[in-house]
Amino acid sequence: MNKFALIGHPLGHSMSPLIHEKLFALSGLDDTSYELIDIAPEDMAKSRGLLESLRGLNVTIPHKQAVIPLLNELAESALRYNSVNCISNKDGKLTGYNTDCDGFLRSAEKLPIGGNVAILGCGGVGRMIAIEVARHGGNITLAVIPQDFKNAQLLMAEIMSKCSGASIKIVEISALEGNFDLLINATPVGMYPKVDACAVSDKVIENSGSVFDVIYNPIETLLMKKARALGKTAVGGASMLVYQAVKAHEIWYGGKFAAEDIAKIITDVENAVESMNK
């Protein structure tokens, strides 16, 4: 039996088992299991034995950095962010990866991330997205609430150190204006159950060519509804969630998946989210 798991704390309802079990089934791997393992922060440092007992792992909050000292090696993606959300175990050698960036890039591959991009928020996922947009030549306007200005400045300095010549400016989210090829919401505004909230004004949405929202619950946020009502492309977070899992399977055992099969899993996740909210 090849055992895989998601580790984190606390672990509430997770879409990970649904996604990974479907990916294992597509690969014809019947002799596998995927479970959720709750590890308290104070127990993380002594969990190397647990990690070694698993063929592969996903890692979520609060262990994405705390797990690093337990690993033998970090892939370039994990080094880039000093953050691990995927671990492979090859004969006892534990290697950490960051597949969140792959999830974003694959789900946004038809969006103009190399153009003028407004990013709302600068937290964990906002930081990753901002760095990826900069790496792909995008001109970034980082829009944040006043209390996040210091963090935004730190992120700006990090981006400039990683991507020399990057174009980035910081504005208060309530003062965001201008024309953007892509508007990205990396805040929790609009997340279930506060589904009637939208992080920006209608004017900002009108002046944006397309929208990406990291939120996957609800599957269509108010931001996305408003963008689609204007005939704009809007992509939600379910695709990012599935694609980061797909990358994990590619790492763990060289999994290969057809685009139509991945699209069906994204739909399955969206249906599961909708059922969960009823």
Q: Which two tokens stand for residue 237?
A: 């977070």
**Closest by alpha carbon to 237, among 254, 217, 215?**
215
Strand 86-90 versus strand 93-97 pairing type? antiparallel
Which among 22, 64, 226, 247 is annotated as catalytic? 64
Residue type, 14: S
- Per DSSP, helices labelled H in the chain are 16-26, 48-52, 76-81, 100-107, 124-135, 149-162, 202-206, 222-229, 237-253, 259-277
User: How far from 31 is each of 1, 3, 16, 174, CA to CA, in Å?
Assistant: 5, 9, 18, 52
**Is residue 64 flagged as an active site residue?**
yes
Q: Which of 188, 196, 184 minimizes the C-alpha distance to 234?
A: 184
Longest dimension (CA), the chain: 55
Please, which residues have CB within 8 angstroms of residue 184's CB and are 6 or more apart in sequence? 117, 118, 119, 120, 129, 133, 211, 212, 213, 214
The CA-CA-CA angle for residues 216, 218, 220, to 5°, reads 90
Q: Which positions are catalytic?
A: 64
